Amino acid sequence: SKTLSDSIPESPIYPIADPILYYSRHDLPRIIGVKDFSVLQTWVDESYETHPNMRSHTGGVISLGHGIINSKSSKQKINTKSSTEAELVGASDFISHTMWTDWFLKGQGYVVKSNIFYQDNQSAILLEKNGRNSCGEKSRHINIRYFFIKDVLKRERITVTHCPTEQMIADYFTKPLQGNLFTTLRDTIMGIIPYPTKERVENKMCSGNERKEIKPSTNSKGDSQVNKEDKEIDAMPKDG
């Protein structure tokens, strides 16, 4: 391992911003960098009823802008009745890592101004924001300890944001992945490429395993077709 070394190779598609750690083994390097110490990002996901005893699996990662600084992949300790409940349990268990990272940065003299917590389940996000007020017939049984996250979000000023499933980095830690999704998330975690966006995921699927970005096509008015599709998708109701 070496820090701030001039021998760090430049990414062919993404310039490395302030690399703080570079580690290389064989042909796959791991790069950790910081874009802004005031921005902390967390991704949490779950795989429902993955284990033989029908318990779910939680995956979570934390980043400061390039690569990841903290990750976890663990079996949930209780059985849940829905994927929404499993998402809530996983988020409640992992958010302590986000809190600790925030406190650690403050101890080093940095103030986190934007603390974003990404999830891909809209129903779970509503439960985390509103607590019991968003409970329905299928979620009234959920133990109150898992609404600890509602108080944390308010007290620690953490913003829960929806993240499309194909851009959910934590999915890598919940189940075996294959093909382009595996290589994209692996390279993102290793710091080789930037975080996946909708257009980058689509381009990756179209171009196979080539590691280069394709600019979105534009129509006669110069509008991006990708941006148009984004607006249409955002206008559609989401099931989580």
Condensed to tens digits (0 to 9), the pLDDT of residues 120-162 reads: 989 889 888 877 666 665 565 676 666 678 888 888 889 999 9
Query: Any idea which of 56-60, 142-146, 162-166 has the lowest mean pLDDT?
Result: 142-146
Q: Point out which residues pair with 34 in neighbouring strands.
A: 65
Chain position carrying tokens 């299928």: 138
Q: Which of 111, 202, 204, 123 is nearest to 160 (CA)?
A: 123
Tell me what pLDDT residue 33 has. 82
The CA distance from 234 to 240, in Å, is: 12
- SS3 state of residue 116: strand
Dihedral, CA of residue 32, residue 33, residue 38 and residue 44, to nearest 10: -40
Report DSSP state, residue 184: H
Average pLDDT (101-108) is: 93
Six-digit token pair at 72?
A: 């976890």
The CA distance from 139 to 86, in Å, is: 11
Tell me what pLDDT residue 59 has. 95
Residue 11: is its pLDDT beyond 50? no
